Amino acid sequence: MQNLLLTIALLGSSAAWAQQGMLTVSGFGTVDAAAFATKSQGRMMAMRAAQVDGQRQLAENIKGVELTGGTTVEEYEVTSDLVATRVRGLIKGAFVLEKTVNEEDDTLVAEIQMAICLDNRADVCKERETLQSIIAQIK
């Protein structure tokens, strides 16, 4: 089980960080700058959206995605096509590597690079909980 989870995590991560023992993702969030009383408030909301997107991506990489779909056909013709995804998981030990917020066409765009340590090879992971240690606690 431990090897399976680590293999799945490595497959979904960027090559450079995976070599350092980390699974990394970039989360994105946008908000309309005019929708908030202050730009600071908008920036915080965009960053929160980016963080949640990053957490979702980490869960997708570790746990996988449940995919369901359906197609409606009437008189031999497709009238609608629906595809839905769902991910459920507990993200433990995730942290932010970098974050930026830019304004583009009156929209605040945030990007947050998040990571989970697979093992303690990387310097940033020396004092952090790793996926390896979390799995060992479960056993």
Helix and strand numbers (H, E) in the chain are: 4, 5
Min mean pLDDT across 10-14, 72-76, 91-95, 104-108 is at: 10-14
Q: What does the pLDDT read at residue 12? A: 45
Tens of pLDDT along 116-125?
998 888 888 8
* Segment 93-120 mean pLDDT: 93
What burial class does residue 84 get, using C-beta atoms within 10 Å of its C-beta: 0-12 exposed, 13-18 middle, 19+ buried?
Answer: exposed
Determine the Cα–Cα distance for residues 126 and 139; give it in Å rounded to an integer: 22
Determine how many CB atoms are found less than 10 A away from the CB of residue 28: 14
Q: What does the pLDDT read at residue 17? A: 54
pTM of the entire predicted model: 0.75
Q: Is the pLDDT of residue 16 over 80?
A: no
